[in-house]
Amino acid sequence: MKEMKILSEWAYSPCEPYRGYTGKTLYVNVGNLKFAEKNVTEEMKEKFVGGRGFGLKLLWDAVRDETRWNDPENEIVISGGPLCGITQYPGSGKYYAVFISPLTDQTYDSNSGGHFAPLLKFAGWDALEIQGKAERDVIVFIDGDEGKVQVLESPFRDINAHSVTEELHERFAASEKDKRFISVIATGKGAENTYLGCLNTSFYDARRGIVRLKQAGRGGGGTVLRDKKIAAIVVRKHGWSGMSNNPADPETIQRLGLKLHKEIYELDDKQSRMRRVGTVHLNEIMNDYHLLPVHNYKFGQHPEAKNIHSTIYEKMFTQGIPDGCWYGCTMACSKAIDGFTLKTGPWKGRTVSIDGPEYETCAALGSNIGVFDPEWTAEAAFYADFYGIDTISLGTSLAFVCECYELGYLNEETTEGLKLGFGKAEALMELIHRIGEGRGEFAALVGKGIRRMKAAFAERFGAPREILEAIGMEGQGIEVSEYVSKESVAQWGGYFLTLKGPQHDEAWLIFMDMVNRQLPTFEDKAEALHYFPNFRLWFSLAGLCKLPWNDIEPEDNLTKYPPQEAAKVPEHVQNYVDLFNAMTGKKIDKAELILQSERVYNFQRVFQLRLGKGTRKDHSIPLRAISPVFKDEWEARRDYYDEQLRSSGVDPQGLSTEEKIKRLQELRLAQWEKLVDAVYRRRGWDKNGIPTVEKLEELGMDFESVVAVVKKHTRKEDQWEEDL
């Protein structure tokens, strides 16, 4: 690689972490080439904790109410959190990237494993805040060894995530072994050409001798990165250890880690088999329970799902290698397929290692588009990373396109020569390449996501808007992740009453609600939609991965606790409380853990409001997320749906299938409105979904600027009757 020209350089004195924090955040403006160091105050730690909380706080201070995703003042803020970087407890290497999303026009947070977040902290920074737009492609290099930050001219002409990360590891490492002290965030050409750009985050896999990638996939963070003309962000830091966070009580962290390692070693093979297959253990389970999205979420099951069974992926994944994406993660779910020869695209004929695919990708670039071929899915997953595109939004968008084609709203002419449809693997792969490489108007449109496709298909091709709205699986502008939600009222909320759109990281309540029947009333569902989103948000504050919470459970979890409590895996929740206290020296309990999250949850809600979103109208839900839309969906489970009508007091006898669908939709839309009301009340929001000033005061989040936003948008008619 040719020498990279230094455009700007800034020296700093790296602060060592103390009790999980370095106390400093780094600001880099790639537009005016300015750098700054900001202090982390005690109030910031108290109110925002770290990770996503820090990201939201810094972004709030950086943008205007009118800022949009491609304005220079939009930022990408990357932060781990106080627990990020420990090596004793599994899943402790995550960062959370916060930015205004091109898909949703509001704040988004997306997380990734890999080594970037720990190395950033050990280089002296609790968060990295990047603002501005460069004039030409640049690389941001944070050198924690030398205490300097550089903006370098990028040498890359052809941006793809694999080449960029590999070459930058090569460039900044002194030797092969030295590559593990470097991590890169990069994306690809597809991030420039779409709104679906992901952030690929590297880690050096010493056993394979290769650089591997994890993704902060969702929300278009990669698109923001490329809009700023950043080719990559690199961090380098030597000389750290698992104790570099200088925790208050290292023995407790050690003890808790050993306990969980033991559970994983002894129980994982009997439980989720994460160490063997990662999250693809869900493939067959979701199919068994009618939850696997098939053909744009029309169905939840398919006979060919046997072809994507986890046992098939188990054979494809290289076994016997501890696949953690950060040191000390014995859950080791970052599986990889080695020695895979690509059949298509710019790297056709090359033999590569493929990261994953994980469950979401198997469904998005698999069952949801009617392709039940793991080799095809693996290749599509590779190229999604290569081009820097989120596999979930890509797959869900393609599923929408397939259905529109089969409904006759698209044809070979409008798709510029592609005969699309469910299962049309060759044409779909060609479309992925066109999207990634930016070839053709149709591919460009698909890459803007479903919300924009709906408008364009209606306007340009005369497709009926009402149907497009019913079957276009997005919320708040972002595509639904890969679960069929229509039979679980609580999961309608888990997907569509969320801060940023239908991603499954807030709440996954389908089993609790639909199968276990633990949430019979709207109040029960609202309580779950208070607890789980707040509990799960906490991982994003602390810098942790969610998977070791409930993809492994203590053997006595089910005998020690009643069913309702057992679902929370109380012992693991206590581990997190103890870990946080052992790191920071604070004394929180389980209730305060939820309070920490609730503060940030409500702050982010107000942030969306500030950006012109964040009200009830933004919590809309497509019909297919709550009900069958077409006859074939009903007929596939006729007895089940007839019984659904009967149990709601409607006799299906004598009704046509179309009439039955209409009645069920009416019933479920009424349920949806009840759910929204119940959830808003439980969250302390008004009828319009806005946190009340009283709620902000109760949480201690009544900052002047936050209260001003709420007051500006609050209407008297949105108060609950009992509050008047």
Partner 1 sequence: MISVNGESMKWHPGMTVREILDAKHYTFPMIAVWINGTPVPRDRFDETEVPDGANVQAVHMIGGG
Residues lying near partner 1 in the complex (CB under 8 A): 270-272, 282, 284-285, 288-289, 481, 483, 504-505, 507-508, 511-512, 515-518, 520, 532, 536, 546, 549-550, 553, 557-559, 563, 566-569
Asked if residues 80 and 543 have their Cβ atoms less than 8 Å apart, the reply is: yes
Cα–Cα dist 442/6, whole Å: 39
Report the residue number, 355 or 513, with the smaller CB distance to partner 1.
513
DSSP, residue by residue, 381-401: HHHHHHHTB-HHHHHHHHHHH
Minimum separation from the CB atom of position 516 to partner 1 (A) = 5
Minimum separation from the CB atom of position 631 to partner 1 (A) = 25
Q: Which pairing describes strands 127-131 and 24-29: parallel, antiparallel, or unpaired? A: parallel
Report the residue number, 126 or 263, with the smaller CB distance to partner 1.
263
Q: Which pairing describes strands 199-205 and 210-216: parallel, antiparallel, or unpaired? A: antiparallel
Minimum separation from the CB atom of position 658 to partner 1 (A) = 29
Q: Of 115, 114, 26, which is closest to residue 77 (Cα–Cα)? A: 26
Within 8 A by CB and 6+ apart from 290, the residues are 299, 300, 301, 484, 487, 637
Minimum separation from the CB atom of position 364 to partner 1 (A) = 13
Minimum separation from the CB atom of position 495 to partner 1 (A) = 10
3-state secondary structure (DSSP) of residue 641: helix
Q: How many CB atoms lie within 10 A of CB 407?
A: 14
Instruction: Say what the alpha-carbon torsion angle 624, 627, 633, 637 is, to the nearest 10 degrees.
Output: 150
SS (H, E, C) 482-526: CCCCCCCHHHHHHHHCCCCCCCCCCCCCHHHHHHCCCCCCHHHHH
Report the residue number, 22 or 485, with the smaller CB distance to partner 1.
485
Cα–Cα dist 486/164, whole Å: 41
Minimum separation from the CB atom of position 478 to partner 1 (A) = 16
Report the residue number, 474 or 482, with the smaller CB distance to partner 1.
482
Minimum separation from the CB atom of position 601 to partner 1 (A) = 16
Report the residue number, 189 or 572, with the smaller CB distance to partner 1.
572
Minimum separation from the CB atom of position 563 to partner 1 (A) = 5
Report the residue number, 304 or 698, with the smaller CB distance to partner 1.
304
Report the residue number, 254 or 518, with the smaller CB distance to partner 1.
518
Report the residue number, 289 or 340, with the smaller CB distance to partner 1.
289
Secondary structure letter of residue 82 according to DSSP: T
Report the residue number, 282 or 336, with the smaller CB distance to partner 1.
282
Asked if residues 168 and 139 have their Cβ atoms less than 8 Å apart, the reply is: yes
Within 8 A by CB and 6+ apart from 480, the residues are 297, 396, 473, 474, 495, 502, 625
Cα–Cα dist 718/710, whole Å: 12
Minimum separation from the CB atom of position 375 to partner 1 (A) = 25
Query: In sequence order, which ranges of 21-91 are alpha helices (DSSP H)?
Result: 42-48, 52-62
Report the residue number, 556 or 722, with the smaller CB distance to partner 1.
556
Minimum separation from the CB atom of position 150 to partner 1 (A) = 40
